Amino acid sequence: MTTTTTPTRALMEGSEALVRAAILADCRFFAGYPMTPFTEVLEHFAALLPDAGGVCINAESEIEAVGMAWGAVATGARAATGSTGQGLALMQESFSEATLAELPLVIFNMSRSQGDYFQATRGGGHGDYRHIVLAPQDVREGVALVQLAFHLADKWRNPVMIYGDYLLAHTQEAVSVERVEFPPLPEKEWAVDGSRSGTGRSRSVTPLGVTKVGQRHFGQEGKAQYIATKMAYVEREARAESGFCDDAETVVVAFGSPAKFVKYAVAQLRDEGLRVGWVRPITLWPFPVDAVRAATRTARIVGSFEISSGQLVDDVRIAVAGAAPVEFIGGVSSDHSGFGLGRLLDVDEVRERIRALHEGRPQPPVPGYEEFTYEPAPHQLAPTPEVTP
């Protein structure tokens, strides 16, 4: 992909930059319901989309928002919706339906931490489906990945999620929002735009495998098989980057905003002579298994740093495939509001957790959370008896 060569740098909030990138990618419909830290994305769409000839609707709930976006994208328009994890939970049925109907919907997830990893990569809907999930590390990369999201959505006729967070949405950076040029894609012959009404050749989009007369017929099971075999091709879109891994004894895997802190901390430890490295998945699905495996080939231990109780670590263990032990070195950490990322996401804290992993020491406690440790009751520690028929 290439970018235009007329950069104009300006200081702007991440939410605004992401929205401007979406408009450059020809997004012309957006519907959402306000929920921090996603609210500003909705506000900027409302402010900027009408001047581009588009429509933004502040829906009465997340369910109505995804339904409106579903309808818009079915007409062939580039359309999007979004929320934070709690709001996206309400949209899961429609997300799975959109995937099975092969609708290229783009989803903005401005999450409150990284505890939505399972939701984003596994989903809470029905059927065998997957979303492409892109995780920018900062606003500048977000501008490029938002435009990539619309391209990949149309390329594969599959929903694509931008997995952000409070920092991505609210941090102000001096950025240049430039149009990214991608290879041309075929016309959307599948779009239900009314142009064939009354011709006997009208179109339909459906997750059910039923079709109009004269169109290819899948049936319910056939459509499920068709989507499942399609996903193997979509896995080719896996993306990642790594650093200092050629001789690393310890490698840390991290994604999104926290990855920038990990990268900086690893560089500091390298300056101290420690053989540590990092690898960053850019796509959370398809997970970059080959890249993670290659980056950890010399490692005697691998760490998963994430702001959650440990979710990314499952995919890291699958990728490493037992070649080295994988330890979770992140933790639950938020600010006083519960919306932002907390004290654990401090480069000094990150560096000491990586150092402890490298030296084989126990992880230091998460700052401010020492007293909130679950203590099981006696009946929970007692063994559960076997049950026989």
Tell me the pLDDT tens digit for each residue of 203-239.
Answer: 778 887 777 766 777 888 888 888 999 999 999 999 9
Query: pLDDT value at position 5?
Result: 40
In a domain, 213, yes or no: no
Are both 277 and 132 inside the same structural domain? Answer: no
Phi, psi of 134 (to 5 degrees): -110, 135
Are both 172 and 250 inside the same structural domain? Answer: no
What are 327's two structure tokens? 């330890």
Are both 149 and 243 inside the same structural domain? Answer: no
In a domain, 232, yes or no: no
Are both 253 and 162 inside the same structural domain? Answer: no
Are both 11 and 150 inside the same structural domain? Answer: yes
Are both 333 and 247 inside the same structural domain? Answer: yes
What are 182's two structure tokens? 């991608």
In a domain, 307, yes or no: yes
Are both 272 and 348 inside the same structural domain? Answer: yes
Question: What does the alpha-carbon distance between residue 313 and residue 329 come to, in Å, rounded to a whole number?
Answer: 9
In a domain, 85, yes or no: yes
Please state the length of the chain. Answer: 389
Q: What is the CATH number of the domain that holds 335?
A: 3.40.50.920
CB 85, CB 110: distance < 8 Å: no
Mean pLDDT, the chain, whole residue set: 92
Which domain covers residue 86, as residue numbers? 2-179
In a domain, 194, yes or no: no
Are both 105 and 245 inside the same structural domain? Answer: no
Helix (H) or strand (E) holding 304: strand 301-304
Instruction: Tell me how far the alpha carbon of residue 49 is from its chain's centroid.
Output: 23
- SS3 at position 343: coil
DSSP 327: E
pLDDT tens digits for range 285-343 = 999 999 999 999 999 999 999 999 999 999 999 999 999 999 999 998 887 777 777 88
In a domain, 316, yes or no: yes
CB 354, CB 276: distance < 8 Å: yes
Last residue of a domain, one of 128, 149, 179: 179
Instruction: Tell me how far the alpha carbon of residue 333 is from its chain's centroid.
Output: 19
Query: pLDDT value at position 42?
Result: 98
In a domain, 218, yes or no: no
Q: State the pairing for strand pair 55-58/160-165.
A: unpaired
Residue 151, C-beta contacts closer than 8 angstroms, at least 6 positions apart: 1, 25, 180, 182, 185
What are 214's two structure tokens? 């004269």
Are both 160 and 304 inside the same structural domain? Answer: no
Are both 263 and 349 inside the same structural domain? Answer: yes
Strand partners, 176: 9
pLDDT tens digits for range 3-30 = 544 468 999 999 999 999 999 999 999 9
Strand partners, 243: 278
Mean pLDDT to the nearest integer, 175-199: 87
Question: What does the alpha-carbon distance between residue 47 and residue 43 come to, in Å, rounded to a whole number?
Answer: 6
Are both 255 and 113 inside the same structural domain? Answer: no
| Total domains in the fold of the chain | 2
Last residue of a domain, one of 179, 198, 225: 179
In a domain, 196, yes or no: no
pLDDT tens digits for range 256-279 = 999 999 999 999 999 999 999 999
